[in-house]
Structure 1
Amino acid sequence: MHQEAKKVTAACWACPAGTKVVVGYSSGDIILWSVPCPPDPKTEQALQNELSASQITPISKLNLGYKAEKIPIAKLKWAYADGKSSRLYVLGCSNHHSANSLQVVLLNECTETRTIKLGLQPPESLIDLEITTSSVEQNKHRHDSLLVLGRSSHLYVYDDSLIERYLVQCQTKSPASLPKEVIVKLPYGDSSITVGKFITSTPCMPCSADEDFNMLAKNNLPLFPFERSLKDGSNSNSTTFSPFSKARNLFITGHCSGAINFWDASCPLLLPVASITQQSDNDFNVSGIPLTALYFSYDSHILVSGDKSGTVRIYTLKSETFAPQSTFASFQGSSKKGSNHIIRRIKVMKVNGAVLSINTTETLKQLAVGSDQGYVSLIDPEGPSVLYQTHIASELCTGIISMHFETCSFHGFEKNVMIVATKDSSVLALERDTEIH
């Protein structure tokens, strides 16, 4: 035991054998201590009785600028790398953004004579950091990532291998460019979900619960962008995709940003399958307009979305994405497109008002779109073109919240009708071919 007058705020081991410990203090000091380690557990108690405080000795003091700025040490993390490029990650406790908030120091035999450090510059003040490890099944490659949490709740990630390379190069030559942070797109919170569609009982290969979960974990999209090339074993300009047929259940979410995400909902943990941001044949960026309605036909490979501006997009997805697992051949798309490469074509059109509801006939020959302004539009998706548009007036609320195609008998004649429900609880029947109601 060693008593210090200063208050200890963080500490971590800095040696795999447990003979070195790094301690951070409220004053901003960081000291590397040598700790005696008993060689034999049987004699540990006897040795502990003989140990004195003088045997726990300081090895070196790291001057990283925290003490000068009066920044307490909030967290210390040590990453082992065969002793030559082991690293110490230091996070200062500061309510304001500081250039010294997050630093990485190389810990090796040269540490006592020369401090090799890297100051990372995230865009905001931080409250926590963690080092995570992931492995890629195809090539058994282990990959470490540095995660830092900002005060705004944004999560940033650094490729730890780039940090290690930078520090090692600092010893002998001019290093490469500084590692840059990447904002992590959090699956459930990055962009608010504005609409969702749950697809059950999709055709998939039968397997046990364990096999099912292992397959999902193996084929889901990596969380971090720099892991995607490692996962498919190819270069960074390509990405692979797991077919929808591997999922027993699909959950499709439309987001405030205009993006559409597909999730494998076969188990309680939703796993990402694909993401669509493409707005047209030439525009691969998110629109920034919240999605308000979704329609999906698994058998026809058709996805229809509607947004707050009244834009309707009809996506025809590639048949490869629905191929059975046994016959599916992994296909690739450019990094510019990302998961958008599952799209065969897109058709775009506008209606009056924000889209609230979408439905189609069984044959998908006609598409009905209802808006918040009370308009019902019948669309030929092949054009696409508006076959007709009618307005349903209401003194209370004009929104069209649901539509359903049906065939009924009227005076002995079969009629194709569209049942329409509005926000004010009205239900109407429209003759589909003539717009009469």
Structure 2
Amino acid sequence: MYVNHTSRKGSLTPKDLNPRVTLHYGIPCAASILAFDPVQSLLAVGTREGTIKVIGGYNVEGLLVSPKQLPFKNLEFLQNQGFLVSVSNENEIQVWDLEHRRITSKLQWESNITAFSVIYGTSYMYLGDEYGSVSVLKYNAEEGNLMQLPYYVPTNVIAEAAGISLSDHNSVVGVLAQPYSQGKRQDGFYLRVSFLFIALLLIAYENGLVILWDVSEDRVVLVRGNKDLELKGKTVVNSSKSARHEPSESEADHEQAEKEISSICWASTNGSVLAVGYVDGDIMFWNIPTAAPSKDQKTESSSNNVVKLQLSSSNKRLPVIVLRWSADRSKNDCGGQLFVYGGDEIGSEEVLTMLYLDWSSGIESLKCIDRVDITLNGSFADVVLLPSVGSVEGCGTLPFVLTNPGQLHVYDDACLSSLISQQEKNTSASPLQYPEVIPTIEPYMTVGKLGLVHRDGKFSRDLSKIVLAAKAQASDALLTPVTGSTKWPLTGGVPCQFYAAEDYLVERLYVAGYQDGSVRIWDATYATMSLIYVLGSELPGIKTAGAGAPVSALDFCTDSLSLAVGYACGRVCLYKLVGSSNETSLNFATETGKEGMGL
């Protein structure tokens, strides 16, 4: 809290107070969206309240607070550049400086933003809106300025090539630069990725239309839609893992009504296959050219190579909300893992579905090798995929799954392998949960208290010596905590170090009591908290009623460093954290009397 000390005595007003959150530990309960920087190994978690949590290695956390408490509908890193871009529900585009934890530039968009993507490795961004327009933005880090470039995709050219009316106002629901496509404009508009120039842009519209646009030549290269859909096959993957491939289609399948697109993703590293999710629960795999034809060649509009995948044979299925792809390097870009949220029968259990797909003999022969339904810990919010060098064949990915309220789980190779090996439906495995510095759910926190330690007190220096010794002994474990056989996979950022050992004094302690009866004490002097004591619920050598009862009350004496812990069963324990010797004394009181012992 900031107080304006220039105010005269007795004239304090509400404007003189500016309460705000400066530190936060763990995953916010209102978390709703994820972004990942694979180069710097940082994860961003956006919330419905306008805050963003940036997470790196263990005990590396940063908090970004937007001036407006609004949800984010888009969140992406400018990879390896130290900047994060967010789009709020009010269509304000914000660029965050991660080093200084502040907004460095922002731009208010006039129309509703319906699609957004950052070109990998650059400061360029594509933006699609509710009127079907696609614009280009660029962030200039030297000037700290986010600007709209004069380049745009003309809607009249798109409409003419697709045979639609401009009055349709079809929203753009996806905009993706095709990986590794090459091109160069003569007017100086360059989009550089991996030493190549992006030439082809994939634009998906709400009404089912998919356009491949040549940025270099300002023309439509390919049109994909529902009117000329000619399916080469259909694969139905039931929840029981049985897959049925149907190479021929009935007449009903050829008579395609307008299918609204709800999600898209590349299903290949070179952009040759596009996965499209629809509101009716279908998933289509489209063949996409990776090079633009010459101007003399006619724009391709037929849909000869497309296959349908369904997660259920039911006629009523959920919309395909999220699609994420991880390529299997051993299949030469002809297979991998598709993560799907949605697409199953309406009323079915909420899961994240992982499909192992293969089309080594051509896209028309697409088959599902295996299906895994990941049971969620809460309601689904988002998922991002981290690269991993796995030992399981076909697994090169660590899925980070965000669920409500505020839970983040990582499914490592061992966990995915366990899920694959199980044949029963709804099997369970134990993912790695985000290793919170201060746990609040597992175990469940019942009470917490922040206590001050007087620097000049006689116990302060003794406590500081104990804390420093504990930190030095546990420093390696703190940086790479291990749960089972898995290390925390994120490594980005640098742990905060604000003190020199010779001058260090503990100034604040945070004490928390839990439902299992345990008590934990952290050094809260600086932003990076560190655990220094864990007090169990049972007293050594003493049998008392109510052992393991929840902690219901805490109090802390700053002068004597004594701690009082009250339990739901009526028992009270008195701890003295630092005494005149190396012993810690303990007294506990009950309704019938008081007993004491030395520890």
**Structure 1-normalised TM-score?**
0.50
1:252 corresponds to: 510
Aligned partners of 2:350 and 2:375 also within 8 Å: no
Number of residue pairs matched by the alignment: 298
Aligned partners of 1:166 and 1:178 also within 8 Å: no
Q: Distance in 1 between matches of 2:270 and 2:284?
A: 18
Q: Distance in 2 between matches of 1:224 and 1:9?
A: 37
Code of the aligned partner of 1:63? Q
Q: Distance in 2 between matches of 1:53 and 1:286?
A: 73
Tell me: CA distance 1:29–1:269, structure 2 relative to 1, closer, same or farther (3 Å).
Answer: farther
Q: 1:311 aligns with which of 557, 571, 574?
A: 571
Structure 2 counterparts to residues 231-250 of structure 1, below 5 A: none
Structure 2 counterparts to residues 282-293 of structure 1, below 5 A: 287=548, 289-293=550-554
Deviating more after overlay: 269-278 vs 153-162: 269-278
The structural deviation recorded for 1:291 is: 3.5
Aligned partners of 2:450 and 2:509 also within 8 Å: yes
Q: Deviations over 1:53-80 (max 9, x none)?
A: 33x6644322211754421112112234
Aligned partners of 1:146 and 1:160 also within 8 Å: no
2:225 corresponds to: 3
Tell me: CA distance 1:50–1:261, structure 2 relative to 1, closer, same or farther (3 Å).
Answer: farther
Q: Distance in 2 between matches of 1:287 and 1:382?
A: 21
Task: Give the secondary-structure state (helix, strand or coil) at the position aligned to 1:15.
Answer: coil
Q: Distance in 1 between matches of 2:345 and 2:550?
A: 34
Q: 2:354 aligns with which of 104, 110, 117?
A: 104
Q: Which has the higher contact order (CA 8 A, sep 6+)?
A: 2
Code of the aligned partner of 1:103? T
CA RMSD between the two structures: 5.4
Tell me: CA distance 1:96–1:297, structure 2 relative to 1, closer, same or farther (3 Å).
Answer: farther
Q: Distance in 2 between matches of 1:108 and 1:81?
A: 9
Aligned partners of 1:62 and 1:115 also within 8 Å: no
Q: Distance in 2 between matches of 1:93 and 1:276?
A: 48
2:429 corresponds to: 180
Tell me: CA distance 1:351–1:49, structure 2 relative to 1, closer, same or farther (3 Å).
Answer: farther
Structure 2 gaps of 5+ residues are: 1-210, 212-223, 227-257, 390-395, 456-463, 491-500
1:30 corresponds to: 283
Q: Distance in 1 between matches of 2:526 and 2:476?
A: 11
Q: Distance in 2 between matches of 1:91 and 1:293?
A: 43
Q: Distance in 1 between matches of 2:354 and 2:449?
A: 42
1:61 corresponds to: 308
2:398 corresponds to: 144
Aligned partners of 1:90 and 1:103 also within 8 Å: yes
1:160 corresponds to: 412
Aligned partners of 2:355 and 2:368 also within 8 Å: yes
Structure 2 counterparts to residues 358-437 of structure 1, below 5 A: 380-382=596-598
Code of the aligned partner of 1:53? S
Task: Give the secondary-structure state (helix, strand or coil) at the position aligned to 1:116.
Answer: strand
Structure 1 gaps of 5+ residues are: 39-43, 137-141, 207-211, 232-244, 323-343, 354-376, 384-437
Aligned partners of 1:147 and 1:158 also within 8 Å: yes
Q: 1:86 aligns with which of 328, 336, 351?
A: 336
Q: Distance in 1 between matches of 2:557 and 2:445?
A: 20
Tell me: CA distance 1:80–1:47, structure 2 relative to 1, closer, same or farther (3 Å).
Answer: farther
Tell me: CA distance 1:80–1:263, structure 2 relative to 1, closer, same or farther (3 Å).
Answer: farther
1:20 corresponds to: 273
Structure 2 counterparts to residues 111-130 of structure 1, below 5 A: 112-120=365-373, 122=375, 126-130=379-383
Aligned partners of 2:314 and 2:345 also within 8 Å: no
**Structure 2-normalised TM-score?**
0.38
Q: Distance in 2 between matches of 1:380 and 1:10?
A: 65
2:319 corresponds to: 72
Tell me: CA distance 1:95–1:48, structure 2 relative to 1, closer, same or farther (3 Å).
Answer: farther
Task: Give the secondary-structure state (helix, strand or coil) at the position aligned to 2:367.
Answer: coil
The structural deviation recorded for 1:118 is: 2.8
Q: Distance in 2 between matches of 1:307 and 1:161?
A: 41
Task: Give the secondary-structure state (helix, strand or coil) at the position aligned to 1:53.
Answer: coil
